[in-house]
Amino acid sequence: MATTVARTLDVKGQSCPVPIVKTAQAMKQLGPGELVEVLATDPGSVKDFAAWSKTTGHQLVETSQQDGVFRFVLRKKG
């Protein structure tokens, strides 16, 4: 299982629903089990990524925050 991030997606400054939509698009280009890292500033994205992970089945591996930037690491289901 991959432990390094295959792709970083920068959606800082973007509002709902762009972070989720772009993540879904990026997921298409990953292989099963690969990791994508998403950097966002939208405070709503914390709940949204949890909900998105639950619905799609892609695992939310990590949620963290530093200097107002949220970092989500998601693993493509496979």
Partner 1 sequence: MTLAIDRPAAATAVAAEDARETGGLVILACSGDLERTWATLVLANTAAALGKPVTIFFTFWGLFTLVRNERGITGQSWMQKMLAMMNPGGTSKLKLSKLNFMGMGPAMMRSLAKRYNVASPQELLDTAKEMGVRLIPCQMTMEMMGLTRADLIDGVEEPAGAATALAAAEGATTLFI
Q: Mind telling me the catalytic residues?
A: 16
What residues numbered 50-69 form the site for partner 1, per CB under 8 A? 52, 55-57
Q: Select the span of 7-15, 31-39, 67-75 touching partner 1 (CB under 8 A).
A: 7-15
How far is it, in rounded angstroms, from Cα 8 to Cα 39? 8
Quick one: which of 1, 4, 28, 68 contacts partner 1 (CB under 8 A)? 28
56 sits in the region (left: phi over 0; alpha: psi -120 to 50; else beta) called alpha
The neighbour count for residue 25, using CB atoms within 10 Å, is 10
How far is it, in rounded angstroms, from Cα 3 to Cα 13? 27
Is 3 or 31 the residue whose CB approaches partner 1 more closely? 31
* Interacting residues with partner 1 (CB under 8 A): 13-18, 20-29, 52, 55-57
